[in-house]
Amino acid sequence: MSRTIAPAKGKLGILMPGMGAVATTFMGGVEAIKKGLGQPVGSLTQLGTVRLGKRTDNRVPKIQDFVPLASLNQLVFGGWDIFEDSAYEAAANAKVFEPELLAKVKPALQKIKPMKAVFDRNYVKRLDGPHVKTHKTLAAKAEALMEDIAGFRKTNGLERAVMIWCGSTEVFTRPGKVHETLASFEKGLAKNDPNIAPSQIYAYAALKSGVPFANGAPNLTHDIPALLDLARDREIPVCGKDFKTGQTFMKTLLAPGLKSRMLGCSGWFSTNILGNRDGEVLEDPGSFKSKEETKLSVLDQIFQPNLYPELYKDLYHAVRINYYPPRGDAKEGWDNIDIFGWLGYPMQIKIDFLCRDSILAAPLVLDLVLFLDLAHRAGMKGIQEWLSFYFKAPMTAPGLYPEHDIFIQLMKLKNTLRWMRGEDMITHLGLEYYD
């Protein structure tokens, strides 16, 4: 039976705390695509297909024709930042787009002005900016964010909205007492508890306003009982954390392949140079620790050393990020992988990925906001594990280990779409072709 899915009518607001390189590459990219200046490369919602039924049935619709997604023309952008720059100025600073392309989307981007941010330097030590809310309590700041959301909805005549954190990486924190229940969290807001991060206040404001929330950075944010309970109670879908774009994307392509052939791995050394503001923020050990945790967890989960000790129990895995201004957003990520085969004979693999961070992240932002909005209209609530495909550290129910293998993640995503529309799951058993 197919699920009831409300139609994607009217305008969909996309609210982004953090209007830096990723957010402006996403917004500018959508504007460029709408003008026919480029293709939405990297986006499953725009280019992907889903096979239905048997391989002999020839039913392979585009995903966007199979499930009711908002179209690019229905999207309206807004957000918050600690700097006053319009999306055009922020995009010009980020230097991701060629100046000629940027000039063509200037009129649309210039109109997008950030609202005043909720910011705390203790959470992002390398940044400071003037465009911030100065209310006395965190509770008053949360209220102000809710007013921003309501105002944005009203001014733009929105039908629905989705929020996605594209802000800087906050320092590493663990869940504490204040994060345990909604009551303790709200008490903490009123008392200015220092353990509540700005990103948590945005997530709280979104959920209280009935807005689905995604986290593109590795911060703890809404991965705490207080906010997950709120999401479930209000029947709002959420997902996170940390876009899987460059080096970790490569890892989740390669590691499952090595494991599928029962090849061993004794060392995986990853290092990066990047020169954008994200790289600068990650120079701070606290912010880097958040990133390191999500980057390191991937290999352990894929290789399962407890099940395959002879292949992976001694794996040495290290991740480094070096801020190197000359490269800007054009990151270079190196991997040295020490593997071993039959009788333990060693071999090496080297990867040198000369990537573009925000060019890889922008289509993920688009897919995530469209899919979260779809999930909301389909009545799905809480953690959306089927969106693990997009994240380095996919959120899961407590006690459940995350699935990192990208091909399993893709299968899960497409099976969820089939399930929504009442189509048969695809198991890849395929015996029927030989009966």
Instruction: Please report, as ranges, the residues that interact with ligand NAD according to CB under 6 A.
Output: 17-23, 80-83, 94, 117-119, 124, 127, 129, 166-169, 198, 216-217, 242-243, 245-246, 276-278, 281, 357-358, 360-361
Buried b vs exposed e over 280-317: b needs ≥16 C-beta within 10 Å?
bbbebebbbebbbbbbbbbbebbbeeeeeeebbeebeb
Between 127 and 250, CB nearer to ligand NAD: 127
Between 246 and 382, CB nearer to ligand NAD: 246
Residue 139: CB minimum distance to ligand NAD, A: 17
Residue 380: CB minimum distance to ligand NAD, A: 24
Between 15 and 258, CB nearer to ligand NAD: 15
Check if the beta carbon of residue 352 is closer than 8 Å to that of residue 151: no
Give the DSSP letter of residue 419: H
Residue 91: CB minimum distance to ligand NAD, A: 10
Strand order in the sheet with 346-354: 316-323, 264-274, 332-340, 346-354
Between 127 and 410, CB nearer to ligand NAD: 127
Residue 363: CB minimum distance to ligand NAD, A: 11
Between 40 and 198, CB nearer to ligand NAD: 198
Check if the beta carbon of residue 196 is closer than 8 Å to that of residue 142: no
d(CA 266, CA 317): 9
Check if the beta carbon of residue 21 is closer than 8 Å to that of residue 277: yes
Residue 231: CB minimum distance to ligand NAD, A: 20
* Alpha-helical regions (H) of 304-354: 309-312
Residue 381: CB minimum distance to ligand NAD, A: 25
Q: Indicate the residue whose CB is closest to ligand NAD.
A: 20
Between 23 and 417, CB nearer to ligand NAD: 23
Contacts of 12 (CB under 8 A, 6+ apart): 70, 74, 75, 76, 158, 159, 160, 161, 162, 369, 373
Burial class (CB in 10 A: 0-12, 13-18, 19+), 321: buried
